[in-house]
Amino acid sequence: MVRAVGEGIAAGVAWLARAVEADLGHRLERLRVDGGLTRSRVLMQIQADLLGVPVEAYSSPNATALGGAALARLGAGEACSMDGVIGRWEPAAVYEPSISSDEAGYRLEQWRRTAEATVGLSD
Summarised one tens digit per residue, pLDDT across range 42-100 is 999 999 999 999 999 988 777 778 778 888 887 887 666 766 666 677 899 999 999 99
Alpha-carbon distances of 94 from 44, 48, 62, 74, 109, rounded to whole Å = 9, 9, 18, 28, 25
Kindly report the three-state secondary structure assignment for every residue of 2-24.
HHHHHHHHHHHHHHHHHHHHHHH
pLDDT per residue over 7-42, tens digit each?
999 999 999 999 999 999 999 999 999 888 998 999
pLDDT of residue 102: 96
Each domain of the chain, given as residue ranges in start order, spans 2-121
pLDDT of residue 86: 67
Q: What is the CATH number of domain 2-121?
A: 3.30.420.40
pLDDT of residue 16: 94
